Amino acid sequence: MIRKIALALGAGTLIAASPAAFPVDGVAVEVGRGDDRTNLLRLAMVDRWRKKQDRHPPEWRLAGYWELSAAVWDNREESTLDVGFAPVFRIVRGSFYLEGAFGFHLVQSEISANRSFSSAFQFSEHLGAGFIRGQYTFGVHVQHLSNGGITEPNPGINFVMLRLQYHLD
């Protein structure tokens, strides 16, 4: 378990250090709770699709971003690592937004004694809402991960997450 936490911290450090090395627009941290009393901590890099677009448009406008993330899941029985990539579609009006995403994750297979993925490859979907205040975005997301029925067993897992994002521009 200590190796998993060290690996997650290393991946998180890489993501946190990446804004200086790569042209990204923001960094985010998410904390959440999922099935089997699984806690989640995720760090992410964000790269907006349209760099010059107003973040606070007066009418509803479609926006979006690419997200690369690393996470650690932890419950009483097991710790699990997760690396993910997703295009996120966001509808923005003023400071309020709604968003949805469909992404891909690589996850260790053991989640708990009751939940084991049959493959490391997982699809993810999330729906979220929140608001933008200056350089920060605050949001709440609901996320589901499963392998989409590619192999069995396919227990999937659901998370409810709080998100804080810092915009670098």
Full set of structural domains in the chain with CATH? 2-167 (2.40.160.20)
Cα 64 to Cα 45: distance, rounded to the nearest angstrom = 13
Torsion 50-105-1-21 (CA) sign = negative
Backbone angles phi, psi at 141, to 5 degrees: -130, 150
pLDDT in tens, 72-85: 998 888 888 999 99
The pTM (predicted TM-score) of the whole model is 0.81
pLDDT in tens, 127-147: 999 999 999 999 999 999 998
Confidence of residue 108 (pLDDT cuts 50, 70, 90): confident
Cα–chain-centroid distance for residue 114?
24
